[in-house]
């Protein structure tokens, strides 16, 4: 209990520190007018040069990348019901997990059924090719659909977990649900210790997986070139990663159909769909 209180307090301090950091970085950015917006999904010569010469590249992807494959957000809007009269932030919450694990499993089984036949798009495939192009390549995603892995990405830091995994609530053993060993049972149990399994995703009210953000932040700090692709840039702490990269001197590029709160921080903004823009870097 004491350790949990310390972890909660640390998380609050961390969040407050990054709010201050975010404000300072954005203020400095506005004063120095760093942003270069490209309205026609063209890639500047400066960016092409940096792409050719870069050794350490960092990519953060969000829901917009998966949406281009047809993955629904499942969120609705506001308090819109998404499952049996419940809004997204209730059925996908830590509180619901404690109260009704079986209901949570029904919800996540449904979500897997919806996306089971969905394939990676051109953006996923382009990012997969980049992993062999650069000396040090880091892919970080906020998505839980596993499409980066389906495209062939070998190493992906998953900030919010994966719909296709389950983990034990006690011993943390993990199970690949694509093997079909447990998908038919709403509340199945761990083969190692006998306790219940849960979806291996980050629910509302939970912290990120241990070490995932820390590793991503270290890679962002070390990057020369940072791509932010298909993310709204409003979910923290993930949205702080490009800010860390920028503060450390990386050239930050946003690729999104519309501006985001991050746009003013970026060195270059390319307005367009990820699946249309990313393959252009290889031409």
What is the set of active-site residues?
A: 160
Q: How many CB atoms lie within 10 A of CB 173?
A: 14
Residue 1 DSSP symbol: -
DSSP code string of 4-73: HHHHHHHHHHHHHHHHHHHHHHHHHHHHHT---EETTS---HHHHHHHHH-SEEEEEE-HHHHHTTT---
Q: How many CB atoms lie within 10 A of CB 140?
A: 22
Q: How many CA atoms lie within 13 A of 218 on its CB side?
A: 7
76: left (phi over 0), alpha (psi -120 to 50) or beta: left
Chain centre to alpha carbon of residue 272: 19
Supply 82's token pair: 């998404």
């Amino acid at each position: 209990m004491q350790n949990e209180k310390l972890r909660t307090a640390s998380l609050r301090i961390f969040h407050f520190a990054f709010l201050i950091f975010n404000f300072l970085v954005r203020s400095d950015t506005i004063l120095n007018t760093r942003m270069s917006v490209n309205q026609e999904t063209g890639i500047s010569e400066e960016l092409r040069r940096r792409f050719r010469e870069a050794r350490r590249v960092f990519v953060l992807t969000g829901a917009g990348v998966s949406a281009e494959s047809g993955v629904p957000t499942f969120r609705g809007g506001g308090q819109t019901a998404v499952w049996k009269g419940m809004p997204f932030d209730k059925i996908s919450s830590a509180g619901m997990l404690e109260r009704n694990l079986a209901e949570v499993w029904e919800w996540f089984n449904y979500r897997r059924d919806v996306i089971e036949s969905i394939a990676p798009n051109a953006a996923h495939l382009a990012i997969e090719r980049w992993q062999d192009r650069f000396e040090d390549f880091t892919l970080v995603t906020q998505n839980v659909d596993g499409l980066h892995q389906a495209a062939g990405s070998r190493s992906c830091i998953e900030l919010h977990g994966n719909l296709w995994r389950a983990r034990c609530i006690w011993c943390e053993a993990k199970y690949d649900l694509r093997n079909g060993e447990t998908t038919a049972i709403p509340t199945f149990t761990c083969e190692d210790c006998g306790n219940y399994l849960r979806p291996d995703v980050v629910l509302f009210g939970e912290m990120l997986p241990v070490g995932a953000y820390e590793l991503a932040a270290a890679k962002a700090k070390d990057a020369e070139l940072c791509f932010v692709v298909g993310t709204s840039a409003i979910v923290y702490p993930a949205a702080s990663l490009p800010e860390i990269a920028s503060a450390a001197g990386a050239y930050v590029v946003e690729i999104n159909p519309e501006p985001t709160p991050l746009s003013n921080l970026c060195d270059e903004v390319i307005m367009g769909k990820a699946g249309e823009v990313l393959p252009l870097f290889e031409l």
